């Protein structure tokens, strides 16, 4: 079990810990509902030090062949993503964000659960060098609609980053204008001791700490997928409607995707909105039903504090992608009305 280097501070701030992807992480600091709404209405910060961070170096052509999205013209200081590493069947090895450092070096942010898998997958499929920086740097996201009222304004374009700059007077290794909540903000990599100083400053400035439960409800409102829940090695980007590839270039898994485009797919990812007032959360693998027919399964679900209703996502048969139709989800033997919707859900 891994523990983040910010754990002592998080305990001091009242974190309630739980296990995620082999890491003991702050799940919430009392109420995820408050933390979620803090991001939607003001700002909050999340410890993301569990996310895999790999430095990859070597020949650009080799790296480009592994990445499903074109990175050819992306200049240093820009991010590519979300994109993905795919299997030769076109399914997800992982979905990743890539920081372009230069002509022959890239930083890859993986899902926590896939850190080691991705590192060995890159080495197995290329001559590229991989160095794991995950334990070296803490990573934090500061996110929120009013984030710049509480923090320094960052003069960086969305999905761009800078290395070695000071933020709130603290030395960072890397700072990017990115996040995974649907709100503005930054993601920061810094040495753990520097990060601790930064978090104390953010706290003093009135920014709440938030845990992984709020991060999960924020991403579900936006319709963002989570590896291991909504995508994995059995799902391809067409089924997930996750546009992480550029067919104009060659990449591992491309042939399978072109083939799937020709033949079509049998299942498609869809959003779910339960009727207001229904206060049950369909757990993973709950059935989605239309007229007594099982048309799919739920992969993620939560209570949305912003919409004050239960939301979710799942896969339905592509022949039954009845967007806007009230289907049913089965929860503890009860069938509950759930509208099939597009993303985002907010």
Partner 1 sequence: MEKRTKYLIVNDRLYTDSDEWVKVEKDVLIVGITDYAQKKLRDIIGVDLPKPNTQVRKGDPIAVVESVKAAADIYSPVDGTITEVNERLVESPELLNKDPYGEGWIFKIKPSGPLANLLTPENYMKKIGE
- Shortest distance in whole angstroms from residue 44 CB to partner 1: 15
Q: Cβ distance 188 to 171 under 8 Å?
A: no
- Shortest distance in whole angstroms from residue 29 CB to partner 1: 11
Contacts of 39 (CB under 8 A, 6+ apart): 143, 144, 145, 181, 183, 210, 214, 218
**Considering the rule CB under 8 A, would residue 13 count as an interface residue with partner 1?**
no
- Shortest distance in whole angstroms from residue 262 CB to partner 1: 41
Q: Which is nearer to partner 1, 34 or 62 (CB)?
A: 34
- Shortest distance in whole angstroms from residue 343 CB to partner 1: 20
Q: Quick count: other Cβ atoms within 10 Å of Cβ 135? A: 12
Considering only the stretches 132-140, 143-151, 237-245, 272-280, report the one whose residues sit in contact with partner 1 under the rule CB under 8 A.
Answer: 272-280
**Considering the rule CB under 8 A, would residue 310 count as an interface residue with partner 1?**
yes
Chain centroid offset of residue 145 CA: 18
Binders in 171-230 for partner 1, by CB under 8 A = 213, 217
Packing angle of the helix pair 32-41, 212-222 (nearest 10 deg) = 50
Considering only the stretches 5-13, 56-64, 177-185, 274-282, report the one whose residues sit in contact with partner 1 under the rule CB under 8 A.
Answer: 274-282
Q: Cβ distance 144 to 184 under 8 Å?
A: yes
Q: Which is nearer to partner 1, 52 or 305 (CB)?
A: 305
- Mark 313-332 with x for binding to partner 1 (rule: CB under 8 A) and - for no binding: -------------------x
d(CA 242, CA 43): 27
Per DSSP, 231 falls in state B
- Shortest distance in whole angstroms from residue 283 CB to partner 1: 7
Q: Which is nearer to partner 1, 46 or 121 (CB)?
A: 46
- Shortest distance in whole angstroms from residue 11 CB to partner 1: 12
Structure tokens at 227: 């590896």
Q: Which of 168, 280, 289, 297 binds partner 1 (CB under 8 A)?
A: 280
d(CA 203, CA 150): 10
Contacts 24+ apart (CB under 8 A), 259-266: 259/90, 260/90, 260/236, 264/318, 265/236, 265/238, 265/239, 265/318, 266/239, 266/317, 266/318
Structure tokens at 19: 């296990």
- Mark 14-43 with x for binding to partner 1 (rule: CB under 8 A) and - for no binding: --x----------xx--xxx----------
**Considering the rule CB under 8 A, would residue 279 count as an interface residue with partner 1?**
yes
Structure tokens at 49: 């030090």
**Considering the rule CB under 8 A, would residue 55 count as an interface residue with partner 1?**
no
- Shortest distance in whole angstroms from residue 33 CB to partner 1: 5
Residues that bind partner 1 (CB under 8 A): 16, 27-28, 31-33, 213, 217, 278-281, 283, 302-303, 310, 332
């Amino acid at each position: 079990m891994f523990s983040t280097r910010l754990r002592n501070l998080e305990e001091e701030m009242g974190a309630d810990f739980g296990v995620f992807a082999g890491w003991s992480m702050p799940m919430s600091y009392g109420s995820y509902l408050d933390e979620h709404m803090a991001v939607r209405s003001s700002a909050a910060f999340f410890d993301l030090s569990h996310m895999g961070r790999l430095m990859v170096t070597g020949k650009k052509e080799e790296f480009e062949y592994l990445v499903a999205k074109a990175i050819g013209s992306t200049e240093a200081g820009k991010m590519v993503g979300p994109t993905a590493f795919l299997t030769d069947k076109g399914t997800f090895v992982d979905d990743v964000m890539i920081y372009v450092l230069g002509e022959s070096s890239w930083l890859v942010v993986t899902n926590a659960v896939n850190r080691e898998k991705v590192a060995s997958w890159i080495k197995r499929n290329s001559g590229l060098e991989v160095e794991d920086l995950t334990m070296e740097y803490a990573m934090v996201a500061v996110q929120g609609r009013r984030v710049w009222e509480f923090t320094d304004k960052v003069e960086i374009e969305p999905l761009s980053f800078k290395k070695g700059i000071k933020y709130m007077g603290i030395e960072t290794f890397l700072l990017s204008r990115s996040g995974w909540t649907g709100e503005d903000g930054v993601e920061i990599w810094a040495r753990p001791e520097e990060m601790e100083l930064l978090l104390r400053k953010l706290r003093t400035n009135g920014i709440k700490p938030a845990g992984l439960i709020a991060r999960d409800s924020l991403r579900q409102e936006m319709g963002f997928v989570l590896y291991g829940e909504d995508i994995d090695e059995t799902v391809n980007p067409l089924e997930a409607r996750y546009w992480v590839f550029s067919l104009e270039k060659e990449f591992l898994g491309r042939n399978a995707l072109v083939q799937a485009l020709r033949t079509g797919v049998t299942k498609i990812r869809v959003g779910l909105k339960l009727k207001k007032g229904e206060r049950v959360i369909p757990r993973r693998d709950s059935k989605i039903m239309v007229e007594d027919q099982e048309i799919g399964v739920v992969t993620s679900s939560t209570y949305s504090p912003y919409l004050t209703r239960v939301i979710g996502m799942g896969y339905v048969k592509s022949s039954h992608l009845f967007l806007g139709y009230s289907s049913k989800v089965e929860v503890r033997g009860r069938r509950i009305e759930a509208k099939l919707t597009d993303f985002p859900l907010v």
